[in-house]
Homo-oligomer: A and B are copies of this chain.
């Protein structure tokens, strides 16, 4: 078995800690706490930061202050601060708060779509169309998240074809990138590779990102498979912020520090300063009174 490791030489990381991470932390943060976190992240070299969500506060109270957060951060040139916008109301608020980028979020599993956003996959796409159109009219790029691409907490297996169908639809509507979410972290290298092989037979690698959860410790191995397929955009959460709502006590998001440690030591350029990122991860872990979920963070701070 002769093997040669081939990966992109440059990778873009989307820091999702302030949104996807904090949304799943039990300790609520004030506007100022969130602004402090985002401003610190802005000084690490990150170029894409998910800063908030304009979802009804009835559903996601942790994100009720996204408006104030987005208007209070010290914006830096070259950094895109993004926000989730499930509908027109959310988009209007996000644009008013000057989000540089917005995101819609769908699923590859019908049951998850119903339970998470109360509609079928098809209905969710119908809802996204005016949001995407209005964002484009305002010259604001739209990213798309697809949940449950490697498994669903309600259905179990999810067909790669379903992921391909939703991805193609969202890209054809004008989303610039699809972030493939392993929402419950059940992906392993073989499944991830099979999914990417199918998607990349019809879609270019630069339209896809991976959003891996580390619930079963598999996230970085899956990222490695993504790199080997030519994927060069990955979501991660500083200090591994966020848990898994489907398995209490389990870990959730891949920690940005662990991802960056791997990329940096593979000579893959990200533009991010690992030492600075580790300090941010340490501070937010102390603030939230939780264990730092980044192993590279814990080791380098030891």
A residues contacting B by CB (< 8 A) are: 1, 3-7, 185-186, 188-191, 193, 197, 205, 214-218, 220-221, 223-225, 228-230, 244, 247-251, 255, 258, 261-262, 265-267, 291, 294-296, 298-300, 302
Contact = CB atoms under 8 A, between A and B. Distances in A.
Contacts of A251: 295, 298-299
Contacts of A214: 295
B189 A262 contact: yes
B190 A249 contact: no
A283 to B, nearest CB: 17
Given A217-B261, A247-B302, 15 more contacts: A1-B6, A1-B230, A4-B193, A7-B190, A188-B266, A189-B224, A216-B258, A216-B300, A217-B255, A221-B262, A247-B299, A250-B298, A250-B299, A251-B298, A251-B299
A3 B291 CA distance: 37
B221 A5 contact: no
A216 B299 contact: yes
Contacts of A186: 265
The 5 closest A-B pairs by CB, nearest first: A217-B258, A1-B230, A217-B295, A188-B265, A247-B302
A4 B229 CA distance: 9
A157 to B, nearest CB: 11
Tell me how many chains of this kind the complex includes.
Answer: 2
Contact of A224 (B216, B225, B247): B225
A115 to B, nearest CB: 19
Nearest to A266: B190
15 contacts: A3-B193, A3-B197, A3-B230, A5-B190, A188-B262, A188-B265, A215-B295, A216-B258, A217-B255, A218-B258, A221-B262, A244-B302, A247-B298, A247-B300, A251-B299
Given A224-B189, A229-B3, A299 B255 contact: no
Contacts of A295: 214-217, 250-251
Nearest to A240: B217
B265 A191 contact: yes
A300 B186 CA distance: 11
A300 to B, nearest CB: 8
